[in-house]
Amino acid sequence: ADIISTVEFNHTGELLATGDKGGRVVIFQREQESKNQPHRRGEYNVYSTFQSHEPEFDYLKSLEIEEKINKIRWLPQQNAAYFLLSTNDKTVKLWKVSERDKRPEGYNLKDEDGRLRDPSMITVLRVPVLRPMDLMVEATPRRVFANAHTYHINSISVNSDYETYMSADDLRINLWNFEITNQSFNIVDIKPANMEELTEVITAAEFHPHHCNTFVYSSSKGTIRLCDMRTAALCDRHAKFFEEPEDPSNRSFFSEIISSISDVKFSHSGRYIMTRDYLTVKVWDLNMENRPIETYQVHDYLRSKLCSLYENDCIFDKFECVWNGSDSVIMTGSYNNFFRMFDRNTKRDVTLEASRENSKPRAVLKPRKVCVGGKRRKDEISVDSLDFSKKILHTAWHPSENIIAVAATNNLYIFQDKVN
Amino acid sequence: MEFKLEAHRIVSISLGKIYSARGQRGGLKLHKNLLVSLVLRSARQVYLSEPGCPPEPACGPPEEEPPPPGTAAWPAGEETTIPPPPQDEAARGGPRVPGAECQGPRPRRCCCGCSCCCAAAAGGEENRPDCATATGVAATLPPPHCPRKRSAGERVQAGSPVKKPRREVEEEPPPPPPDEQEDMETGNVASLISIFGSSFSGLLSKEPKGRRRPPLDGGESVAATSAEAAAEPGQICCDEPVLRTLNPWSTAIVAF
């Protein structure tokens, strides 16, 4: 099993897709809940596995292009088939996942081995009939959107018009139509004329869930820009600019790195955006640009360890963040296979761990606590014992129920609400 | 003092990261390298503005009076805050005055250069805390000491990689003499720059400007010239005049 690099539920929550470093996509499907066993809520089983991207070689630049899947985004379902977008650093692909449970039988043009029979030997016309067969799920690439990005793609986002989507790399954002693969519109370009003047890059981008003309993108400087595509073809000028003034008392060598935003997500309502930087999660109201309305400390105890984290590269980890279906709880990952949830209404938070030892099926997850100094209590774990190689970067929340998917390196954990 | 070491350590780590980023799969990660270059720049600023840092000998000591330690709020622990970006950085960049020999347009080199001079002045002992006073002595010393010491190492390295960048990767910079720690930093950086040399035509051509002066070693200056000439043919981006006004380190890294 390879390291999981992205996790995403589809719009109904029936399917859960994961992408990994090896370019594979694995889709899980939720079992239909059966009347016989009402206490056994639908579990997720493997539905389809396919190789989405392969490693490529750019001969012109003598560079290898990684096959790692950076993001998967589902399209809303419009017919019996499922569609998803998956992307690596350079190429976005549209995959169709469909079921086949019937097979045509009765061809008389070929013999048993599949070899064509001699036409002169065929004397009868026979029309094949469809017979049931074991369910087969097949994934076929329907579109390949290539050669539009010089830099590494970090985000894709499907527009609410379901006809277009955008792909963002470090310096540019392109708008695509699903039907057209040989063209895309460049809607944001922050590349300076002189690359030596480069001071910030795009780190994430997302369309507004309801307004098809609006999108946001975050930067490595900790800012978010909201753009309206109606104002101009090239949205280099933002409609809104979200930035929180820096706290001068926290200034250090690494201030810039830790303020870089690794993920930005609209709330389901479209009213708020959530951003994740290295130490915090922030919730912003679209109507207030000068500071976030809520800030949650994910693992502030790391603030004094930034130099070591810089040395071992952990400070560059890009954590994602997610909303629950009702936008009342937000979740993000941390180290030591811990992940955190913050309830926006009660202001309570919890730290949980995704590990085999703690995760017997049906076991209730026990809240964890990191001890920040002073005496360590029995169940607490001290900061120095944290395993920084076990990081939870990718999580997903079912769109309507309390089911979460947590990717811990090469393991996927799915947790559900306790059933009463 | 610890902060200077800390900053130095961070600079070395950062350079190591940039160096190793070259060969990684998937190509250059622009975002990460940008962040590393920002850290590098901050650390260098701190390193150079730290009270213990000896200013360039030719620059006239009085103007170099670094901000007294008291003003910078240094919290204990791993983290260090950056003092208000020293205005004397700009001042340093400006009129270098008389001994323009000692690399006028490149204030960044000052530490290394000075340690040479200081070392020479103090007869081989390194006396960093007292450097402020020693600079007075150093100023009177013949400057050719520093440029020579530093540039000799650099030029040797600048010569080769333009031709064979790959080979350079294996080459170790000559181990610095024990009492010249700052030189190590330059050594690393110099080799880095020379490794990237073919991509930084502006940088390389900028340097010899200061180096190619008084005559030091006939053979070496020839090497530098050919390196510069070879590097010119339009590699990446750099306009000399633009470059001169920019921080050479950020130039190196950001252009990359």
Rounded CA gap, B198 and B212, in Å?
19
Residue B43's H or E segment, with its range, is helix B30-49
Q: What are the chain A neighbours of B22 within 8 Å (beta carbons)? A: none
pLDDT of res. A37: 65
- Please report, as a single letter, which amino acid is at residue A376: R
Handedness of CA B104, B107, B108, B110 (dihedral sign): positive
Instruction: Give me the pLDDT at residue A200, please.
Output: 95
Cβ contact (<8 Å) for B80 and A252?
A: yes
Find chain A residues with C-beta within 8 A of B39's C-beta.
253-254, 256-257, 310
Helix axes B201-211, B248-255, angle to 10 degrees: 160
Give the long-range contacts of residues A338-347, CB within 8 A, separation 24 or more.
A338/A299, A338/A368, A338/A370, A338/A392, A339/A392, A339/A395, A339/A406, A340/A296, A340/A298, A340/A299, A342/A281, A342/A296, A344/A283, A344/A294
Terminal Cα-to-Cα distance of chain A (whole angstroms): 34
Please state, in angstroms and rounded to a whole number, the distance separating the CA atoms of residues A255 and A258. Answer: 5
Which of B131, B144, B56 lies closest to B97, judged by CA? B56
Instruction: Quote ipTM for the complex.
Output: 0.89
Three-class SS of residue A98?
Answer: strand
Amino acid making up residue A126 = R
Q: Which of B10, B31, B242 lies at the smallest CB-CB distance from A220? A: B31
**B243 vs A246, higher pLDDT:** A246
Structure tokens at A325: 């279906």
| Coil, helix or strand at residue A105 | strand
Chain Cα centroid distance, residue B233? 24
Distance CA B38, CA B196 (A): 18
| Shortest Cα distance, chain A CAs vs residue B6, angstroms | 9
Neighbours of A404 (CB within 10 A): 24
What is the tens place of the pLDDT at every residue in B1-39? 677 888 889 999 999 999 888 878 888 899 999 999 999
Query: Using the beta-carbon criterion (under 8 Å), do B31 and A201 form an inter-chain contact?
Result: yes
CB of B78 less than 8 A from some CB of A: yes
Q: Which CATH superfamily is domain A57-80+146-414 in?
A: YVTN repeat-like/Quinoprotein amine dehydrogenase (2.130.10.10)
| Pairwise CB contact (< 8 Å): A251 & B38 | no
Residue A277 backbone phi and psi in degrees, to 5: -115, -170
Chosen for mutation from A253, A302, A305 (greatest number of chain B CBs closer than 10 Å) is A253
Give the residue on B whose Cα is nearest the Cα of A248.
B81
Min Cα distance B211 → chain A (Å) is 24
DSSP states of A181-211: EEEEEEEEE---SSGGG----EEEEEE-SS-
Q: B106 or A170: whose pLDDT is higher?
A: A170
pTM of the model: 0.70
pLDDT in tens, A331-384: 999 999 999 999 999 999 999 999 888 777 777 888 999 988 777 787 889 999
Q: Check pLDDT > 70 for residue B91.
A: no
Q: Domain residues of chain A, as ranges?
A: 1-56+81-100+133-145, 57-80+146-414
Among candidate residues A397, A406, A316, the one with its CA nearest the CA of residue A352: A406
- Per-residue confidence band for A88, with pLDDT thresholds at 50, 70 and 90: very high
Partner B contacted by A194 (CB < 8 A): yes
The span from the CA of A382 to the CA of A369, in Å, is: 9
Q: Whole-angstrom Cα distance, residue B256 to residue B21?
A: 11
Q: How many angstroms separate the CA atoms of B86 and A128, rounded?
A: 84
Cα–Cα distance, A186 to A172 (Å, whole number): 7
| Sequence-distant (≥ 6) Cβ neighbours of residue A220 within 8 angstroms | A200, A201, A203, A256, A260, A261, B31, B34, B35
Least confident interval from A33-37, B35-39, B236-240, B248-252:
B236-240
**B227 close to A (CB below 8 A):** no
Which H/E stretch holds residue B187? helix B181-195
Chain A nearest-CA residue for B13: A311
Q: Do B7 and A305 touch (CB under 8 A)?
A: no
